[in-house]
Chain A
Amino acid sequence: MIEARNLVKTFPARGGLLAQKAVQAVKGVSFVIPDGGAVAFIGESGCGKTTIGRILSGFETYDSGEIYYNGEDLSALPPRTRQERLRKVQLIQQDPYAALNPARTIYQSLAAPLSWEAKRRHKEKGWIERRAREVLELVGLNPDVVLGKYPHMLSGGQRQRIVIARALTVEPDVLVADEAISMIDVSLRLGILTLLQTLRRDYGIALLFITHDIAAARYIGHDGRMYVIYQGEIVEEASTDELIRSPVHPYSQALLSAVPVLRGLERPGQDRYIPLGEFSVTETSGCRFAPRCRFAHDLCQKEKPPLIPWEQEDHRHACHFPTPRRVVAEPLEGHS
């Protein structure tokens, strides 16, 4: 289990010709990834999703807050040791094209991390190839067909499966899938989602699914949990079903409204609304979403809404005027 409390991450200012102000990408975020659980982070570009994923998989440091990994607080450890502890949290990135070395065969790409494992665990020579075949079968590829191939000979979906297979070589506890399907053909996305579900069900691998595509995030499983992130803060969290069925924060509602409606098969939710147009990120003592929020009042500009429960303890929101709205599309008769 991973528990993060009040994680904060600031990227420092840069001087020089292309001066840039410091960016606080993550502003005190707390969440739990249970053993074998499924968690989704949802939010638009730049909200800090990738940064959190990279912190969890040991690629990025954090300024303050704590990460408990199976009960142990990693925050006090030196970064190197922390990274070693997070070895079993494996990051799967957006771009399966960039993730694989084009000059290496699939076998070579898998053998590299496996020979590390073999050394660590004192395995005999044949183990590496046996295990390479095993992980390929786990991701639904035929080892005889793909082992000798180079990445360019495979489709986007197959490449992403290879990337997942490589992550499986260390027998991970958690897979962090960061927009892992957004560069893949829509026709193949569901296949990858189903694969991630299977790995979770059959091997108890927990899943952190990072995306701006809420419809896809639904497929991490019925018992999943969703966190909606806005400008580095959690603004709503609930079980996946609850969050989609009855979101109470206007930003969650905007994100859900933005999912395209399949005309003829679905009708738009009656309260669907999409904030359009320009807005700027300014420091505020109030709600960060207020400049874009259709439901903002004076209070919203002045006072920051805390993250508090809505009806049940496990559905939380940060809005002064939480209101359930029906924003997602509904299936039309005969076209579920």
Chain B
Amino acid sequence: MSLYDLAPTAEDAGIHIQNLTVSYDTDRGRFNALKNVTLDIRPRHITGFIGESGSGKTTLAMAMMNAIQPPGRIDGGAILLDGAGDVLQLRGEPLRRLRGRYFGFVFQASSNSLNPLKRVGAQLMDLGRSHGISDLRGLLREAKALAERIGLDGDRVLTSYQHELSGGMRQRVGLVFALVLKARILILDEPTTALDMLTQQAVLEIVRSIHQEQGLTTIVITHDMGVVAEMADRVVVMYAGRVVEEGPTFSLLTNPQHPYTQGLIRAIPRITGNLDDAKPLPGSPPDLATIPTKGCVFRERCYARTSVCDTVDPVPTSAHGDGLVMCHGVDAS
């Protein structure tokens, strides 16, 4: 029996990322988009990935499915999926089948994931067939019900072509596709960025309840701390291809350790409290080509910088009980 024949159970869809390094070849040279990332994603939890544009969130999610495309390359590391072994060792048909069984993925730009020439419902039936689902009528019925829970007109959406749907509608159709196929691991890349606040809440609500109902392992990628605060059990903070802090949401929000996490939280426009309490995060998001190769990658924007930050890479230190932080400032104390 090969690895991918093991039927996963809800209990064991944890993901263990070990020393993962991914690089992209660009016209300015080859740069690391992820460097030595080690991280456990817990089964049955909602994990939020947060970080500015370019911090490597999408790259990390794609790597988990061994789906990095050229000019990207996985340079090293392992991704151990409970019950299925190292995903990075799989190729071809076994890899395709493993993805189909385990992963439901909603792309950041959902518009590109739909076929422009087929009605949405027909695409869903294709997908159902390729997943070996025989009750296609039932599949459509479920999709319609899901669509209606997030404010879509189910019949209209299933009979539409993608160009007849707005960006926000397409994003939600992507979500319906991922949910209806009953993946074990649900990865949502910026599921609410094109949506207004009310629709965002509807989407978050449906993800939360399906996560619960089906005992999923869910990953929500976002640059919005508010989304994380509403949804996630745990938070992974990424900066310049590194995980700089990780821990339970409550602890991370109330007691952020890394100066970057602190800055991100302070920069959120808040509906409540003193206007002057919010402060912009200084500087610009990191650019791969100018990330320092030695020392702390955040130091240019950091209020707590000391000389050791320029020369020595910070190492993961335990924080938030069962989480971690990577900062010399926290090391020292």
Task: State the A residues within 8 Å of B (CB).
Answer: 18, 44-45, 155-158, 185-191, 193-194, 212-216, 218-219, 222, 244, 254-256, 258-266, 274-280, 328-331, 335-336
> Can you identify 23 A-B contacts, CB atoms within 8 angstroms?
A18-B164, A156-B53, A157-B284, A186-B267, A187-B264, A188-B267, A188-B284, A189-B267, A190-B267, A190-B281, A215-B268, A254-B198, A258-B197, A260-B230, A261-B226, A262-B253, A264-B229, A264-B250, A264-B254, A266-B272, A276-B201, A277-B151, A331-B273
Q: Other than A188-B284, A262-B229, A331-B272, give 8 A-B pairs with Cβ distance below 8 A.
A: A18-B164, A185-B53, A254-B198, A258-B201, A260-B229, A261-B226, A262-B253, A275-B198
Within B198-255, the residues touching A (CB, 8 Å) are 198-202, 205, 223-227, 229-230, 249-250, 253-254
Q: Is B275 in contact with A214, judged by CB distance below 8 angstroms?
A: no
Check B278 for interface membership: any CB of A closer than 8 A: yes
Q: Is B197 in contact with A278, judged by CB distance below 8 angstroms?
A: no
Closest to B227 in A: A260
Closest to A217 in B: B269
Chain B residues whose C-beta falls within 8 Å of the C-beta of A215 in the assembled complex:
268-271
- From B154, B164, B226, B280, contact of A259 by CB (8 A): B226
Chain A residues whose C-beta falls within 8 Å of the C-beta of B53 in the assembled complex:
155-156, 185
Bound-state Cα–Cα, A2 to B197, Å: 29
Q: Is A276 in contact with B205, judged by CB distance below 8 angstroms?
A: yes
Bound-state Cα–Cα, A78 to B109, Å: 41
Check B195 for interface membership: any CB of A closer than 8 A: yes
User: B48-74, CB under 8 A of A: which get 1 and which 0?
Assistant: 000011000000000000000000000
Chain B residues whose C-beta falls within 8 Å of the C-beta of A259 in the assembled complex:
197, 226, 271
Check B285 for interface membership: any CB of A closer than 8 A: yes
Chain B residues whose C-beta falls within 8 Å of the C-beta of A191 in the assembled complex:
280-281
Check B196 for interface membership: any CB of A closer than 8 A: yes
Q: Which of A18, A188, A216 has the most CB of B within 10 A?
A: A188
Q: Taking the nearest CB of chain A, how far is it from the CB of B230, in angstroms?
A: 5
User: B274-296, CB under 8 A of A: which get 1 and which 0?
Assistant: 11011111001100000000000
Closest to B156 in A: A280
Knowing A190-B279, A278-B153, the reply to whether A155 touches B201 (Cβ < 8 A) is: no
Knowing A254-B198, A258-B201, A278-B151, the reply to whether A263 touches B263 (Cβ < 8 A) is: no
- From B148, B197, B249, B267, contact of A213 by CB (8 A): B197
Instruction: Give the A-B contact count at a CB cut-off of 8 A.
Output: 148
Chain B residues whose C-beta falls within 8 Å of the C-beta of A256 in the assembled complex:
271
Chain A residues whose C-beta falls within 8 Å of the C-beta of B153 in the assembled complex:
278, 280
Closest to B152 in A: A278
Knowing A263-B253, A335-B254, the reply to whether A185 touches B271 (Cβ < 8 A) is: no
Q: Taking the nearest CB of chain A, how far is it from the CB of B221, in angstroms?
A: 13
Chain A residues whose C-beta falls within 8 Å of the C-beta of B264 in the assembled complex:
186-187
Task: State the B residues within 8 Å of A (CB).
Answer: 52-53, 148-149, 151-154, 164, 166, 168, 195-202, 205, 223-227, 229-230, 249-250, 253-254, 263-265, 267-275, 277-281, 284-285
Knowing A156-B53, A261-B230, A263-B249, the reply to whether A255 touches B198 (Cβ < 8 A) is: yes
Closest to A268 in B: B230
Q: Taking the nearest CB of chain A, how far is it from the CB of B142, in angstroms?
A: 16
Bound-state Cα–Cα, A213 to B225, Å: 14
Chain B residues whose C-beta falls within 8 Å of the C-beta of A216 in the assembled complex:
269
Q: Is A187 in contact with B269, judged by CB distance below 8 angstroms?
A: no
Q: Taking the nearest CB of chain B, how far is it from the CB of A40, in angstroms?
A: 12
- From B195, B197, B205, B278, contact of A214 by CB (8 A): B197
Closest to A153 in B: B287
Chain B residues whose C-beta falls within 8 Å of the C-beta of A331 in the assembled complex:
270, 272-273
Q: Is A44 in contact with B197, judged by CB distance below 8 angstroms?
A: yes
Q: Is A265 in contact with B254, judged by CB distance below 8 angstroms?
A: yes
Bound-state Cα–Cα, A265 to B262, Å: 13
Chain B residues whose C-beta falls within 8 Å of the C-beta of A244 in the assembled complex:
271
Closest to B254 in A: A264
